[in-house]
Amino acid sequence: MISATDHSFLTWEEIEPLIPHIKDQSRMQFVHLYRKYKDQNNYPFYWGDEIEFSLIQFDHDQKVVQLLLNSMSLLESPEVKGLESSEWVPECLEYILEGIPKNPFGSSITDLNLTEEHFKERRKAIKQLLSPNQTLVSVPYFPRFGCPNFTFPSYKANKHPVELHQSVFIGDAALCSQTPYYITSYKNLAKRRQERMVINVPLYIDKNTMMPYGEDLSEYEDNEEMMKALKPGHIYMDTKSFGVSCCVIQVTFQAAGLKEAAYLFDNFVPLTPIMTALTAGSPIYRGLLSEFDSAWRPMSWSCDDRTRQERGIEPLTEGKVLVDKTGFDSIGRYISVDNQFYNDYDYRYDHRQYELLKAEGIDEIIAKYVAHLLLKDPLILRKEKIDQDIFKDSGHIQAIFNSNGHSLKLKLPDEKSGWKVEFRTMEDQLTDFENAALVVFLILLNRAIITLKLNLLIPITKVDENFTSAQKRDAINKEKFHFRKDVQKEFANCELTDDIYTLMTLDEIMNGKDDFPGLIPLIHKYLNQFDYDASKRLQIMQYLKYISDKAAGETIHLFSSILNKFYLKYTTFTLQ
């Protein structure tokens, strides 16, 4: 959990000379953890969720909806602090709250059936503290984010960007100012990157769009820099907040040990873009309709702390390396030994750290994964945590692992828990039922993968291609995705050939086609091994039917489709 009172964070200027030391200590901490936990394989299956919500204020007379900047005061209330099964924590923006369970859940059908009730309890705890014209919503992306007067209280953005937010659209007051962790992360990202963030999302263009489309930014002092960054026919955004304002659902699974964690990690890699497309609900940015239905790419672009050299814009100087992906992007590598032939991608990593990890006896595949994470410089460091005992403290390496925003995370063990995998590509849905259905689907798929020994792997480059497809407008109905033909074939007998995968729709992936059974029928196959009481299984069946119908393109379940149609129907309607 992030502290709201810790003021001991270092500036980027203080961190930069310490980076070699921090990375070396991180490597040594990982070596210690690896040796200590690599052969422990008896951890029980546990899971937990994290769901972000937005605070909203309505002015019904003026027909205005604004984001309510009031999260920290709500978190201090006894009603929120006294929750039995859940708790609320701050996020980097003052209108976002994240709900998490106090204790992990197991795989029993009782735990799964209680998921929705836990979500309702969290929501109720906050809503009862709000005024009648205020509410808490699980909407993935607020359509007016970055427009004039989009928050309450309303603040004007600085015409000349300041050190902290560096935006001409968003004032610093939107940040969670009482949480130094987030303030420091914004400052240090900007200092490391050395220039303003550039996010260009393609604009939706139809017969009514005036072309060539371009924005008039002449009122801003840094107009020349922005005009160079702005692409014609695109929606321009200029700060990290435009990405991290998307509210998402994350699910973490504890595995029996490292081998099972790597097996689950690899099998979930191809699922990350599939769930991006399935949950997409973010077609509007700064009040303008885009060609994207998902906020995944804007999130990735907004968290890009790479310098111009690392992005390949300027020639590399001595000691600098090309970093081909942001720290918030699709995973670039499978990590099980058996699956290396699927890694058909030129994976960037810190070669020095890789060689040192191998010299310590770390498995080559894991060493390369860790060395890739060590490419990223730490942006957050407490002054009292610079020097750590590598045998007693794992703070540096935990921070390196936790600070990467990849589509999937391998999470390190500690004294209380084992190796874990975090799934990170699902956007919020409108109701507790829908969010519970997504979480339960992932839990059951996790169990089916282990029990039925499924193999969902495709070449890693095809996963990246799937992310490109998942981002597009109406991807559920219009796009096809690379997916494995035979998911029940043993890993050891597989070869990397083009005929192991084919293009499928989301409907086909979830519900099956021809000889391909579909993921939901495979979950039913897993469930049929148990003699569950019919009344207990009924709720699970409703969740799976929702996923099935959503994948089949039933409009009532597609929030992005609802938003798109609403926007286009009201031709005189404007969000600006």
Q: How far apart are CA 267 and CA 449, in angstroms?
A: 8
Instruction: Assess contact for 251 and 444: CB atoms under 8 A.
Output: no
Q: In whole angstroms, how far apart are CA 394 and each of 29, 246, 481?
A: 6, 30, 39
Placement of tokens 């969000």 in the chain: 575
Q: Quote the radius of gyration of the chain (alpha carbons, Å).
A: 23
Instruction: Assess contact for 164 and 187: CB atoms under 8 A.
Output: yes
CB proximity list for 545: less than 8 A, separation 6 or greater: none
Instruction: Assess contact for 266 and 438: CB atoms under 8 A.
Output: no
pLDDT at 490 (0 to 100): 66
pLDDT at 576 (0 to 100): 42
**What are the backbone angles phi and psi of residue 97, rounded to the nearest 5°?**
-125, 145
pLDDT at 494 (0 to 100): 56
pLDDT at 495 (0 to 100): 62
Peptide bond into 212 cis (omega under 30): yes
Count the helices and strands in the chain (H runs, E runs): 22, 15
Q: What angle do CA 242, 251, 268 make, to 5 degrees?
A: 100
pLDDT at 565 (0 to 100): 80
- Residue 346, classed as helix, strand or coil, is coil
**What are the backbone angles phi and psi of residue 121, rounded to the nearest 5°?**
-60, -45
CB proximity list for 96: less than 8 A, separation 6 or greater: 52, 53, 54, 55, 71, 90, 176, 245, 247
pTM tops 0.85, yes or no? yes
pLDDT at 55 (0 to 100): 98
Q: Per residue of the chain (576 residues), what is the pLDDT tens digit?
A: 444 445 589 999 999 999 999 999 999 999 999 999 999 999 999 999 999 999 999 999 999 999 999 999 999 899 888 888 889 999 999 999 999 999 999 989 999 999 999 999 999 999 999 999 999 999 999 999 999 999 999 887 765 555 577 788 888 888 876 788 888 999 999 999 998 899 999 999 887 777 767 777 777 666 677 778 888 899 999 999 999 999 999 999 999 999 999 999 999 999 999 999 999 999 999 999 999 999 999 999 999 999 999 999 999 998 889 998 998 999 999 999 889 999 998 889 999 999 999 999 999 999 999 999 999 999 999 999 999 999 999 999 999 998 888 999 999 999 999 999 999 999 999 999 999 999 999 999 999 999 999 999 999 999 999 999 999 999 999 999 999 999 997 655 456 666 899 999 999 999 999 999 999 999 999 999 998 888 889 999 999 999 999 999 886 667 788 888 888 776 554 444
Placement of tokens 């005189």 in the chain: 572
Instruction: Assess contact for 273 and 454: CB atoms under 8 A.
Output: no
